[in-house]
């Protein structure tokens, strides 16, 4: 059965962040004076922003035009709520989802579904991808684990497939995945919030952890019934709503910039059935897709937290990538380091266990490894990947190393694309390129979004 929460909570906390903020808060004043996209686009040109942000705001505005268009058509969206404190390849564990209906720019209906209930309607017998069955002891693939690809269009289609298998009847105009980090965008704009009847302060640094504590443990200490334990979310959303409506135009623009950052970091991922909108999402790099047209060197590190609770809150990742182009065959030495910041086991964390996949150009060949266990190999999304389970005990650091060759063509007019995994936060990296001339160039990067060598030379 669907559990219906306050519309205010889901609209403000999730849906608005993913869909409406573009046309509601960011362009609140613009919308009142510019009822069409052409006029709105012209007014964006006068905002004190650089050219790239203006272009992306115009893309936001085009989405807003689609959502708020008074065309008499009902538009239905599937919203996937992902908790990236439990990282999955597509962003985070999907604990619930929403069905949003819009018509003529108004919310017609919004229901949320707890996946622990809905997945019971999905037939058994679909074998999950490795290593879900082997590590989680889950024998059947369901909607909650549907985002096991690093490519969001693939995950979106798989989620819709499971929704239909669970007897879902809606036809979707689009699918949106939203990581829990998006809450921080609102709290950075509104400032800290205190809720009567609840302990602690909800601010942009600790709100997710405070909420997790409240809905998992705190409610019992306060005598709140199990079925009402998430009422704190509704109360928090109401307070956020009050504060957002009092923001100045400049503050609303700042909030829109924060959500723009969420889009760039893949904490919000968009998939539209409308081909034109999907092309715009892809061009803005907001569709969460793996670049299958890239012909140069390529790297993507994809983690899947399997049975380590919400330990990703404490995990810090970094990598060192060295490519040697001086010989006949390009050689790569990749080091991936995990630091487990928690010191002891509790209700939220324990020893970390992840399934790491390293995506490389098709034709790459693994020659050696260090500190790895059993290895898996495969071809996916036009790439070659090397996979392995990595365990990191509490309070410890673990580094795994890969040595592999690239196809010779990767050295031609050398360029490198590193794509970021949704939900992984900022990953510190170092890239070293040794050219034919033996000249070595070093780049230190904070991987908060996709990174391309040619754009940083």
pLDDT at 332 over 80: yes
Single residue among 248, 283, 318 that ends a domain in this structure: 283
CB 408 within 8 A of CB 414: no
The pLDDT of 306-326, averaged and rounded, is 95
For residue 292, being part of any structural domain is answered with no
The pLDDT of 80-91, averaged and rounded, is 93
CATH number at residue 357: 2.60.40
**252 versus 131: which is more confidently predicted?**
131
For residue 124, being part of any structural domain is answered with yes
pLDDT digits (tens, 9 = 90+) for 250-269: 777 777 778 788 889 999 99
Beta-bridged to residue 177, according to DSSP, are 80, 269
pLDDT digits (tens, 9 = 90+) for 185-222: 778 888 888 888 788 788 888 777 877 777 777 777 77
CB 34 within 8 A of CB 40: yes
For residue 364, being part of any structural domain is answered with yes
For residue 290, being part of any structural domain is answered with no
For residue 288, being part of any structural domain is answered with no
Q: Which of 82, 13, 452, 457 is nearest to 232 (CA)?
A: 13
Tell the residue number behind the tokens 């020893």, with chain if given.
351
Domain extent for 147: 7-283
Q: What's the pLDDT score for residue 265?
A: 93
Q: What's the pLDDT score for residue 435?
A: 95
Q: What's the pLDDT score for residue 221?
A: 76
Single residue among 226, 253, 283 that ends a domain in this structure: 283
pLDDT bracket for residue 25 (50, 70, 90): very low
CB 391 within 8 A of CB 411: no
For residue 289, being part of any structural domain is answered with no
Instruction: Count the domains in the chain.
Output: 2
Q: What's the pLDDT score for residue 34?
A: 40
pLDDT at 24 over 80: no
Q: Which two tokens stand for residue 324?
A: 């040697």
Least confident segment among 1-10, 125-134, 145-154, 214-223: 1-10
pLDDT digits (tens, 9 = 90+) for 374-426: 999 999 999 999 999 999 999 999 999 999 999 999 888 999 999 999 999 99
Q: What's the pLDDT score for residue 324?
A: 98
Q: What's the pLDDT score for residue 246?
A: 80
Single residue among 283, 312, 334 that ends a domain in this structure: 283
E-only strand ranges, 93-167:
93-103, 106-114
pLDDT digits (tens, 9 = 90+) for 115-127: 878 999 999 999 9
Same domain? 41 vs 136:
yes
pLDDT at 431 over 60: yes
CATH number at residue 106: 3.40.630
Same domain? 202 vs 337:
no
E-only strand ranges, 264-415:
268-272, 297-302, 315-324, 331-340, 352-361, 365-370, 375-380, 383-392, 397-405
Compute the C-alpha angle 84/90/95, nearest 5°.
55
Least confident segment among 7-11, 50-54, 161-165: 7-11
The mean pLDDT value of the chain amounts to: 85
Signed CA dihedral, 226, 228, 233, 239: sign only: negative
Give one DSSP letter per residue of 32-101, joined into a string. Answer: HH--SHHHHHHHHTTSS--HHHHHHHHHHHHHHHHHH--SS-EEEEEEEEEETTS--TTSSEEEEEEEEE
pLDDT bracket for residue 12 (50, 70, 90): very low
Same domain? 15 vs 138:
yes
Same domain? 148 vs 252:
yes
Q: What's the pLDDT score for residue 67?
A: 76
pLDDT at 289 over 80: yes
Same domain? 269 vs 308:
no
Same domain? 162 vs 188:
yes
Same domain? 333 vs 254:
no
How much is the pTM?
0.87
Q: Which two tokens stand for residue 354?
A: 């992840």
pLDDT bracket for residue 274 (50, 70, 90): very high
The pLDDT of 76-98, averaged and rounded, is 91
Q: What's the pLDDT score for residue 233?
A: 65
Q: What's the pLDDT score for residue 230?
A: 59
Q: What's the pLDDT score for residue 1?
A: 39
Same domain? 174 vs 305:
no
Burial class (CB in 10 A: 0-12, 13-18, 19+), 47: middle
Q: What's the pLDDT score for residue 190?
A: 82
Same domain? 201 vs 334:
no
The pLDDT of 289-304, averaged and rounded, is 97
């Amino acid at each position: 059965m669907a559990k219906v929460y306050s519309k205010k909570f889901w609209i403000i906390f999730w849906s608005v962040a993913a869909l409406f903020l573009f046309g509601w808060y960011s362009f609140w004043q613009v919308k009142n004076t510019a009822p069409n996209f052409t006029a709105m686009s012209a007014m964006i040109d006068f905002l004190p922003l650089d050219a790239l942000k203006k272009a992306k705001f115009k893309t936001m505005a085009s989405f807003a035009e689609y959502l708020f268009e008074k065309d008499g058509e009902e538009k239905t969206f599937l919203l996937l709520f992902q908790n990236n404190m439990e990282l999955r390849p597509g962003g985070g564990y999907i604990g619930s989802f929403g069905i949003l209906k819009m018509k003529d720019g108004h919310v017609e209906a919004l229901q949320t579904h707890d996946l622990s209930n809905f997945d019971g309607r999905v037939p058994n017998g679909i074998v999950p991808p490795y290593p879900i069955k082997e590590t989680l002891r889950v024998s059947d693939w369901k909607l909650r684990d549907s985002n096991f690809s690093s490519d969001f269009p693939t995950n979106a289609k798989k989620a819709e497939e499971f929704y239909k298998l669970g007897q879902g009847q809606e036809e979707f105009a689009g699918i949106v995945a939203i990581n829990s980090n998006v809450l921080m965008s609102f709290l950075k704009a509104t400032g800290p919030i205190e809720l009567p009847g609840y302990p602690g302060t909800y601010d942009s640094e600790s709100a997710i952890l405070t909420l997790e504590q409240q809905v998992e443990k705190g409610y019992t200490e306060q005598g709140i019934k199990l079925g009402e334990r998430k009422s704190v979310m509704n109360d928090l959303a109401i307070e956020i709503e009050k504060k957002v409506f009092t923001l100045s135009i400049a503050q609303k623009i700042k909030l829109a910039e924060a959500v723009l950052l969420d889009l760039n970091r893949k904490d919000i991922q968009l998939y539209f059935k409308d081909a034109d909108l999907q092309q715009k999402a892809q061009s803005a790099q907001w569709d969460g897709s793996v670049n299958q047209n890239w012909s140069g060197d390529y790297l993507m590190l994809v983690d899947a937290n399997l049975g380590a609770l919400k330990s990703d809150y404490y995990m810090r990742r970094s990598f060192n990538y060295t490519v040697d182009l001086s010989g006949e065959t390009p050689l790569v030495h990749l080091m991936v380091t995990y630091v487990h910041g928690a010191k002891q086991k509790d209700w939220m964390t324990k020893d970390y266990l992840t399934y790491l996949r390293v995506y490389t150009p098709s034709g790459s060949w693994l020659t050696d490894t260090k500190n790895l266990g059993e290895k898996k190999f495969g071809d996916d999304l036009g790439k070659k990947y090397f996979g392995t389970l990595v365990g990191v005990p509490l309070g410890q650091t673990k580094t795994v190393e890969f040595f592999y060759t690239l196809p010779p063509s990767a050295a031609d007019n050398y360029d490198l694309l590193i794509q970021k995994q949704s939900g992984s936060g900022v990953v510190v990296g170092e890239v070293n390129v040794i050219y034919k001339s033996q000249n070595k160039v070093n780049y230190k990067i904070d991987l908060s979004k996709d990174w391309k060598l040619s754009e940083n030379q």
